[in-house]
Amino acid sequence: MWVPEVSPATLILEPAPTGFEAASSFDPGAFGPALVERADADGRELMIVDGSDELHIRLQDDQATRRPAVLLPLDSMFELRLDVALRFARRLSGQRINFLPTALRLTSFQKRRLIQLLHAFDVHDGGGGPRDIAAEVLSSDHA
């Protein structure tokens, strides 16, 4: 999935320290369906989808859903991470707000371009040459 160290759109949740009372627990199902869910030795990862918006969450352990605390590294992407965390907190309190800030959302042009590049890769990976790639990408509904 997404590596939190690279993606500021990945929210890192861990259990709140002892003595902190969480305002509410986090029920991933209440945010929307989990399109992807994966567990490994480092915790659990979720990708929750709400319409055209998605939220990537890294849960350090199971207690993180009962007493959620957001981990915000003070790195070069701190402000974006903070914006994602604030949006998460607002959604947790019941506000209808997009998961991702505008700076992290793809424009329709970027989405189309990414789809074209993925089509081109698929044709190339399947042994197609430049003409095959052009024919496939240009005839695609997403071109």
Residue 128 phi, psi dihedral angles, 5° rounding: -75, 150
Give the side-chain half-sphere CA count within 13 A for 11.
26
Looking at residues 84-109, what average pLDDT do you find? 77
Question: What are the structure tokens assigned to 68, written together?
Answer: 């959620």
User: Given the structure tokens 């042994």, which residue do they identify?
Assistant: 127
pLDDT at 72: 92
Q: How do residues 104-119 score in pLDDT, each as one tens digit?
A: 666 778 778 888 888 8
Question: What are the structure tokens assigned to 127, written together?
Answer: 């042994």
Nearest-5° angle of CA 12, CA 105, CA 111?
125
Measured distance between the N- and C-terminal CA atoms of the chain, rounded to whole angstroms: 27
Rounded to whole angstroms, the Cα distance separating 46 from 66 reads: 16
3-class DSSP state of 84: helix
3-class DSSP state of 27: coil
Q: How do residues 57-90 score in pLDDT, each as one tens digit?
A: 899 888 888 888 899 999 998 998 898 898 888 8
The answer to whether residue 3 scores a pLDDT higher than 80 is no
Q: Could you please report the per-residue DSSP string of 44-64?
A: EEEEEEETTEEEEEEESSTHH
The answer to whether residue 1 scores a pLDDT higher than 60 is no
Chain-centroid distance of CA 123 in Å reads 27
Q: How do residues 10-48 score in pLDDT, each as one tens digit?
A: 889 998 888 887 667 888 877 777 888 888 888 888 888
pLDDT at 63: 84
